[in-house]
Amino acid sequence: MRRIVPLIMAAVMGCSSYHYMRTDDLVSNPDYTKAYVAEIPEEQGVLRMREFAQNTPVEESYVYTGGRFYEVGSMCYASDDVGGFPGMVILLDEGRIKELIRKNDDMTLYHFHNTMNEAVRMSFRMLELETGTPLTPFDMAVLLRAHLRDVPYPSSVDLKNMVALSNEFYKEHPEGRITFKVVSYMGVVEYRLNEEGRRLYDSIDDVTDDKMLEWTGLTGLAQKSFPQSFLGGFRFYQAALRVGDGIEVSFSPFD
């Protein structure tokens, strides 16, 4: 049985405090009135996220720092417009993240992308409404295959959040280290700003709507250019972000 005991962490500024429940394993938590912290090895947490990605309908986010995973997602829901397509939206608890940034100069922000979720089902329903006919099992298989090719990549919203939180972090810790990782059934994609990216995105306002569309289109172009090879498409995506946007991306597949 999972062991849970209360843990209270005081905020650095003001009179508010952030409350965590301590647990001996990572939690995918649908109750966004509570947050959890787990003191476990990073590798163990990643494997748990791999399980969540394949077995849970919602996404979750964590900050890993000081040997602990802190839950920082506040709400998750399906939307019919995430970069122009149905997708899952996870809202981050800005207060918790800012407190962790103030206290730590080395951190990794994790989240996972689901194999099947309400956004996928939403895309099925939208297509049925557009065509006026029910989808066949073959149609659903084709659409699901396309979704599974997309799952490992960070979304344009993920990249924008990375820029915003990196800016916040480097204001506090100019010489610190912050990186971001998304876990899927295939493996772990890491993405972060390099030195050029820190100069390009001095402000979140530098990430325009056109830039968001460009990032979304880049994922689609990678898949279209390399329909039989995820790794080929990923290398295309990787090079384009590094050269044009100062974003370093790498992929570590599961065994």
Q: What tokens does 105 get?
A: 């100069």
- Please write down the long-range contacts of 240-245, taking CB distance under 8 Å and 24 or more positions apart: 241/191, 242/194, 245/197, 245/200, 245/211, 245/215
Which residues are 69's β-sheet partners?
A: 38, 64
Which pLDDT tens digit goes with each residue over 207-235? 998 999 899 899 889 888 888 888 899 99
Query: What global pTM score does this model have?
Result: 0.81
- Residue 148, pLDDT score: 58
Give the residue ranges of the chain where pLDDT is below 50.
1-16
- Residue 127, pLDDT score: 63
- Residue 103, pLDDT score: 93
Task: Report the candidate in 74, 61, 65 with the shortest Cα–Cα distance to residue 100.
Answer: 65
- Residue 214, pLDDT score: 93
Which pLDDT tens digit goes with each residue over 187-214? 999 999 999 999 999 888 889 989 998 9
- Residue 227, pLDDT score: 81
Q: What tokens does 95 get?
A: 């207060």
